[in-house]
Amino acid sequence: MGKKIEINMSAREKNDAAAKKNREIFNNRSLRVFNIISSPGSGKTSILEYAAEKLGSKLAVIVGDVFTTQDADRINKKGCVAVQVETGGGCHLNAEMVRDAYEQLDTKKTEILVIENVGNLVCPSTYDLGEDKKIAVISLPEGDEKPSKYPALFNRADAVIINKIDLAPFVDFNIERAESDCRKLNKDVRVIRTSVKTGEGMDSFIDYLEKR
Ligand code: MG
Ligand code: ZN
């Protein structure tokens, strides 16, 4: 009787292996790949609708949500390819889900791939999807303490978008505090203040995606 060699990979090891494979595929295609992470309602999808209008077929989007395809539908309508991953309860995307979604996309013209993660400030930051850079989004109504409360995301984020900046007169959000907390965690972080409503900062965001 031969010896049975059991290869028992943990979920995390499996994800890391899948992420490495994704990264190879994306690098071979010279795609710039971003993983956008935030709590629900920060405006990720609205920001990507705006980007879809500006970038058109240069942009492709993979959207994660627990249920429904409504966010991918919104982005598709703005003129770029988008595909939805419904996790059916899962609170983050993993690298295999991203790979399956990527294979459903027509990426012939794609230069930039953005993955909109499931709205959640905790575990999405710890699952590598094969992206080049993570982007964190916080919005003014959420409160300025988010970077200090969720350092695992903010110390991994290459850029932080402070969104809904048009609400500054109506909410107690100390923008300087949020920015300085982000820089304490990552001194090289790029902070971009945005409003999809007024368009403020959106050119800087598009520029970041294109040139990073
Ligand atoms: Mg969304
Ligand atoms: Zn999770």
Express as a percent the part of the chain with pLDDT over 90. Answer: 94
**From ligand 1's centre to the CA of 24, what distance in Å?**
27
What's residue 105's pLDDT?
Answer: 96
What's residue 100's pLDDT?
Answer: 98
Instruction: Please write the tens of the pLDDT for every residue from 149-169.
Output: 999 999 999 999 999 999 999
| Residue 4, pLDDT above cutoff 90 | no
Report d(CA 13, CA 9) in Å as an integer.
Answer: 6
Q: Fill in the amino acid letter for 149.
A: K
Instruction: Please write the tens of the pLDDT for every residue from 165-191.
Output: 999 999 999 999 999 999 999 999 999
Q: Which ligand is nearest to the CA of 117?
A: 1
* Mean pLDDT calculated for residue range 81-104: 98
What's residue 116's pLDDT?
Answer: 98
What's residue 9's pLDDT?
Answer: 82
**From ligand 1's centre to the CA of 28, what distance in Å?**
28
Q: Which ligand is nearest to the CA of 122?
A: 2
Q: Which one is predicted more confidently, 6 or 94?
A: 94
Comparing 9-13, 20-24, 50-54, 140-144, which segment has the lowest mean pLDDT?
Answer: 9-13
pLDDT band at 210 (very low <50, low <70, confident <90, very high): very high
Sheet bearing 133-139, strands edge to edge = 81-86, 59-65, 112-116, 32-38, 133-139, 157-163, 190-193
What's residue 3's pLDDT?
Answer: 58
Would you call 209 helix, strand, or coil by DSSP? helix
Report d(CA 35, CA 128) in Å as an integer.
Answer: 9
**From ligand 2's centre to the CA of 120, what distance in Å?**
8
Token pair in block for residue 166: 């048009």
Report whether 54 contacts 78 (CB < 8 A): no
Q: What average pLDDT is seen over the chain?
A: 96
**From ligand 1's centre to the CA of 77, what distance in Å?**
14
| Residue 2, pLDDT above cutoff 90 | no
- Across 21-143, the runs of DSSP E, i.e. the strands, are 32-38, 59-65, 81-86, 112-116, 133-139
**From ligand 1's centre to the CA of 5, what distance in Å?**
43
Burial group, residue 140, by CB count within 10 angstroms (0-12, 13-18, 19+): buried
Would you call 36 helix, strand, or coil by DSSP? strand
